[in-house]
Amino acid sequence: MSTVTRSASASPCMALNGIIDASLFPLKSTSDVVNLFRRALTSAIEPDLTLLSIVVGYIELSLTTGEAAQAAQAAQAALGGSNEVIMGNSVPFPVVTHELIAGLYKKFQTILSVVDKPKPHRQATREIIKKVSDVIWNSLIRSSYKDRAHLQNLYSYLSGNKLDCFGVALATTAGCQLLGYRDVRLAISEDHAWVVFGQKHVESIEVTWHGKGSEDKRGQDISAGIESGSWLYLGGLAVICERGMEVAAICVALNISLSANSDCVEVAELQQQLLWLLYDLGHLKRYPMALGLLGELEEINRTHRSITCEQLFREAIESSRNYYHNHHVYPHIFQGNYYNRLLKYREAFAAWANAADVIRLYTYQCRDDEEIYKELLDIANELIPYVMKTESSGHSARSILRDAEVFANLLRFYDGICQWEEDSLTPILHIGWAKPLVTNITKFDYDIRSQVVIKLPEDVEAEQAAALEAKKKATAAATAAATAAALEASLHAEGNNNNNNTVVKKDEKSKSELPTTLADLTAACGEKILNPDFLLQGGGQPFADQKQQAVAEQTTSSELSHNNNNHINNNTSSSNNAEKEATTISNNGNNEANSNSNSNNNEQQQQQQQQQQQHKEAKVEEISQLELANSKQPAVVDDYDPFEIMLKRPVITLYSQKMKGLKDLLLAEKLNTHAISLQVTAQSVASRKVRGSGTDSRQPATISATITAIASTEGASIGGSATSAASTDSFTPTRPKRTRRE
């Protein structure tokens, strides 16, 4: 191992002037390469993408192609096709010399010499970037227009004139940097790459192709791809790289595969150490794909003591949510596959459902979305059926087949895929998707399926509107109650100030004598717990925490009224007939001059007050006896709380037209598998035709109802029911009538 004694800050190797520091070479081990990258990333000069890509590309191809690949195939054949890991490699670690790297570096400068270098403080233009891309494009071998392994680095380009689609984008970015255009940056989605430029990096340009074809997109803006809703462009929320993140992209692009069934341990170790270096320097926090890849490498061979692979998967998801509005799918797939390998099926289903929630944001494009389609197809038709088969072999209380939340996540997964299919010119859910879907759903019993609360967007909107209206009413009621309480407090204060001379209006007195149940309910609504005795029997106070207060208040009021009756008499005088309100003036000093009529009125009032007091005392005694009886009985703890069970019921909202039509079928006691399969496979074609006729907002629901009606009928009435149900659908009559056997 070579020892580097020069400081990183003084290293001229990243001067981007064609002079490479010879003291950094040769590189004889993984640690030497990591030190080279550390110098490049910590230097005051930005890292040279050309130099770093050539170095790691040479190491990758030396360890994974040629003699190394042949040795790996021979070792795999000797093991008889088993999946054992072959530790070690017959090919030693390649020595990276200064002469080799300097020669290739000079060759790349010669290729770019036809492009004009920028004047000082001049930014790149669309024409300049297109010219750099043309130079690289025209020097490629025609047969390399396909994505193959180990073609994503500049060593592959400079040694064999071969690059894949990502390699062309990387070479264009590195070429612009080498020429001096520092505003050109690499933009990366989950399966594509392009270039952004300008002062704020808002202008974009295609510099490569994508997929199996070699369509020339170079020079075009990516706005058309964003407007199409394709996953390929992530809705305009791709990773816009800084120089450190572009170095991370070079490391992520390393391909560790030796053959179809074997990987190179040395390349995987190099990639893992380089990603940890970038992680420690903070260049991966905005790169979800790199975090997910590092998590997979840590799962295979853990090298970090404090950070686990599960934490890295979570960081990838958080990065997608914080910086890209949760528009990246692969972080959720990384996490779901990880939990599946650990046999944590509940967590795996939740992660896969989260991935489907992201893919529903896009519209399926057949040519552009091929890779993510394969990933989701593998989950739906391989991983989930295998889990279901494993779990159904032996039923237990802990099985996921007895978990309603797992069933809800399964529906959410398929709902996301169905919504991804909507507005697409190509259907997704053919019969190959429908059969596993039906099989997976039938694994759950009715008592589990019925626990899931399925809502539609219309129901959610109605609930939100009702909640808003209820909130407004509660606010108004609270305001009215506060006003009434303030008025009552002011009247009470005024009565205390005039103990011997109080004027009370008869209508206000009558209001105060009315039962205050409604006022209590209004004032304490939403703040206190209702009293069950009041609701069931009509007795006591309306709220539970008013029991103790009622006893004390009623006892105090009875004593006060008794004292007032002994010492205070009301004096009633005649009033004018034209006035609607009559007042009563009480004066303690005129008790001896009262007339007989006043005495009769006083006696009647005293009798009424005594009756009310007796009634209140009886209620107080009844409440006290009830509380005493409850205190003597031991407290019984009921483990079965229906409200708690209801709160635990999973609630999901179905947004796709297909799954909306399946709502009643999914919750039926006996599943109609034919109806489910028919709904899943027939809806896409029908919705596409309807969309062409310009009435897509109305017809899909009609088609769903038609399919449900056709499949739910039994016996000989199937044909007639189908005809009547399809009378409102302009496309259904064109279908041939089905016999009972069909």
Average pLDDT of the chain is: 74
Name the token pair of 307: 């950070």
**What's the mean pLDDT in 285-302?**
95
DSSP 631-649: HHSPP---S--HHHHHHHS
Kindly tell me if the per-residue pLDDT of 595 is higher than 60.
no
Residue (of 726, 713, 721) closest to 674 by Cα position: 713
pLDDT (tens digit per residue) in 158-167: 998 899 889 9
CA torsion sign for 61, 63, 67, 68 is: negative
Maximum CA extent, the chain: 130
232-to-207, 359, 380, 580 alpha-carbon distances in Å: 15, 11, 21, 81
pLDDT (tens digit per residue) in 715-741: 333 334 333 333 333 333 333 334 333
Containing H/E element for 356?
Answer: helix 345-359
**Dist CA 123 CA 235 (whole Å):** 26
Q: At what angle do helices 288-300 and 330-341 cross, to 10 degrees?
A: 20
Kindly tell me if the per-residue pLDDT of 653 is higher than 80.
yes
Give φ, ψ of 118 to 5 degrees. Answer: -75, 155
pLDDT at 504: 41
Name the token pair of 197: 């430029």
Kindly tell me if the per-residue pLDDT of 516 is higher than 80.
no
Spatial neighbors of 100 by CB under 8 A, at least 6 apart, are 58
Based on C-alpha coordinates, what's the Rg of the chain? 40
Containing H/E element for 652?
Answer: strand 651-653
Residue 727 corresponds to which amino acid?
Answer: S
| Sheet order of strands, 583-586 included | 503-505, 583-586, 570-571
Q: Is the peptide bond before 26 cis (omega within 30 degrees of 0)?
A: yes
pLDDT (tens digit per residue) in 386-443: 999 888 876 665 788 989 999 999 999 999 999 999 888 888 888 888 899 999 999 9
**Dist CA 190 CA 239 (whole Å):** 9
Give φ, ψ of 456 to 5 degrees. Answer: -110, 160
pLDDT (tens digit per residue) in 44-79: 899 999 999 999 999 999 998 877 667 766 766 666
At 592, is the pLDDT very low, low, confident or very high (cuts 50, 70, 90)?
A: very low
Pick the more confident residue, 372 or 259.
372
| Percent share of the chain, pLDDT over 90 | 37
Name the token pair of 300: 């295979």
pLDDT at 512: 44
CA torsion sign for 191, 196, 202, 204 is: negative
- Strand, helix or coil at 204? strand
pLDDT at 395: 61
pLDDT at 150: 85
- Strand, helix or coil at 197? strand
* Dihedral angle of Cα 47, 48, 51, 57, to the nearest 10 degrees: 70
At 103, is the pLDDT very low, low, confident or very high (cuts 50, 70, 90)?
A: very high
Q: Are 207 and 222 in contact (CB under 8 A)?
A: no
Pick the more confident residue, 627 or 44.
44
**Dist CA 448 CA 623 (whole Å):** 44
**Dist CA 737 CA 742 (whole Å):** 10
Spatial neighbors of 370 by CB under 8 A, at least 6 apart, are 211
pLDDT (tens digit per residue) in 174-226: 999 999 898 999 999 999 999 999 888 889 999 988 766 556 678 888 888 88
pTM: 0.69
